[in-house]
Structure 1
């Protein structure tokens, strides 16, 4: 068994890792290691190897050694919060080779203490589970560069031919090396304007899409596929998307994440310059992409909450239908509040997220959302006396004698997005005309008054009328032929997912539920999710290729849980015919859903969302129709895929054939 010595990165006193006052490290979540209470600020390399990560805040450094050990040196506890003025100076960068004991930087211990943080330096082998048989720390006084721990490396560990070939797991997560590779292959940090993420994709806004190396990114371990749509370069990751996104933003540094106003500002300036050079048709396409981008950025942070709350509301409806809980009891009220709050106060959440996307103040827009959902305002909308009608809208209030229509804004989305856009124009003007000493009070005061007033008096009623007409239009089209509507939507909806345009449908579904309480359209969409799951299930059961089975089983669970991207990009679309057979299954499921008039009262779809098909007024045929359509969905997509949609030979063909242009790329 091979032995390796790790040096202490600082001078001080070594303590067992269990005594470090950070539960993530002390409980061994980041691997085996040790802590050092430093007495001076000199930092040295703990081993010879390659620098694989340097945190943007300089508080963490990652190394990979020739023996395959992935070492994290974490400078202080909670020092990541000192990003505005990091108390560290480093002389290394990612890619540098270092020798054990080389001085690599300094940390200002006094500044860390003054900021109320602990100076403890932590050293951990983050891939201990795969590489470390035992690690013995030399507890007690130590000098920087002296041996601080003896490590026995497992016999099963093979030395990499180059240090860089070994993926690093540093900086608080195992996705830093993947993040580094993605950034390099999208054209480097200099080519990135900003980055956001959704449930499965890290979405880059790039200065030049042509600099991205599509094939290299597709083949990275941890990446399912790439897509281009809505002005975004989308890297499909799957369930680990949040971890990869965090690692990407950490490496890009301040000014790139979706909560960085500097990124938004620079993107706006770039868009203004590009707009002047566009033809009229290009401006139309750009405006549509921008609208999709705003909807995406506004809805992504809350869509998971909407789905989860929809499941809870469905469970409550089942409990009520089967007389387990009475609608008059406090139990019902409490559970209903848990499930309904995200819908009821949706304007507050969407106001916050839309403001972040558009560059206005999220807190102010959250307050505006609070105005719209204020109980007295809701009371006027729901119980106020209609005195007359104007442009088809009931006049139920007056404002300084001006007759107005106060609508109900609970469950609403579009008015808040429009309000956030208006605020993004109003706020910079207010800051220019109001003296600095008065801005703290008068900018939010005027913004809340003007934006709330604009929505309540003008924007809201107009958007409400348009939204109601849109919902009514969907219902009318559906009523012309529910079965044919289901057949067409069921067969082609997942194509929208390929282009990332399915996010444009979500507000329509939300509006449908807000205005009617249910959504026939969402019921059909649910059938397409089940079909993708049925197809990838067939591949999981048929394939004898280990890498395919390893990806197909989790993708099946994901699709049946309402997230189809892993199934589509990882398997079905990648191997061509499987996506076609899945779409046929979706068409059959959509046809049956429409034929049986299956309705849906929540957001959560696929098999996990079965409670969304429970009518709150009592169990009806929609619940059973959902199961009939879903079972047919699975049978058709599974059978067609198993027989005609996939064979293990397809895997070999994809690996050896030259890359074809992806559907998602054609949309860009």
Structure 2
């Protein structure tokens, strides 16, 4: 008798054939086999052999294995009914010879479920009655291309043509052959495989810079002492669900030898590349000086910020321009702010900002490796009307650390902050999700993940933002507000210099909300705001910087974004300029900030006043005194002109070159940091 292995055609949860929701298969009418509830769309060959059948609807593929087994892979239940628009792509045809573990097809799981069909993948040995004496499915979570079942053939000769998938007990003969040929890596590989419990105990294998990392079915079967004393092994470690054999510089050779003996289905190149990159980053990080670590951390932070914002930058730019047009229409009395026309156009221009947490939650999750849909739902929680009402109109029952206590949570007094227009909480939440999700998927059984992973994530992450992160930002903003008021009272010019230089930095982290309440209070109580005039100068500065890039760059993609970002910034919406261009290329944001500092200093020095909320160049009418034109209008024009000249000139000369674009494209992704930020639209 000879035992052979049948590999898993897809990744997912492997179950007994009797548990499959198809009576034809579950009652064994098609032969012995197993089912898999798939978690990925890639389908691989379960055996080495010839393709004998591809269904016209592409839902089933048949094989004649080199061992003589006739194997059927059935993709989904009742999916033959989807023949008019099959949710499958098959890359093999009848007559092709395939290797076990090689890619043969993909299946669109979402389309199958949308059609009301179960995506269960079924493997059946259709001639099992004539060829098999025993069939042992390996029930549990599996990866594609690993051992799914052990099958005992009726006669040993039938297995002779498929040595790559023979049982691990035959590995000892491989080891002996290795000794004879003098291949010490193959010999060590065979010894390691044997001592970790054999191929039947191995789910998959990856490696990093120094270690071969096994995912074992049962770590208790591994003989630590023997492995540690093998010639060529440095040590054994267990972490993160992996059984790690420390090899050292020869890890690539040992890993290749292990995969050669197990078969290609056991390797995971993508996971290996990730592990190698992670180890390389860790080693490089340890060699950095403290100052270099701070610099790299800040660079990583900027990468996360801009990467999360880039997908929505075009929308922000378009919306910013629309908001500028609406400001002109209301300024010149074409449209009344209370008219339905205004409401409709304002909704078109403002919705992307109002619901920004939802969009940024989705994009940040993709950037950081979390579930985008779940983070989009978390963004929906933050912008839910009842939460917005609590933040803006909840009953204030007290104050703590400068925060208004406007709600309670299970009796505990809490501060609910406003999250519309914000992005920092969502990126922080996406980072938290990227750490939480892998742990949840390890501890929650596969059959329960669909419900409980999103449930736990939404509760924990939304709760962390609402109950912890929001109040922390509010407390910091309150302290910052007190400092800003004190500086402004001491010297408007110095206050203008500092606020002008750092306001857009505050926007990144959501701390600009410290200034907005002051502005609102000034305008509602006094009818004007000197502070808002300084904020306006920072918008002009961002526009001047991105204008320089629009004129200087020869890169089409940069120019296409820089021009609308310029218009948007001069219309009072700086997010496209900041996140799409200036912050992304680093020096441009610094030169824009210098321009903002100059503009803020001049605005404060000339005591420019502002009677409206709309800032930047589009808000010129906000600088007209209702009692009659005074120097504030001329001061605004002078400060704005100088601000544009300074930010434009510095950026054109020092802040940007087209080489920066290539540097950003080739910079390695840094996902090991969780620093994020919030940005909100300015007044």
TM-score by length of 1: 0.44
CA radius of gyration, larger in: 2
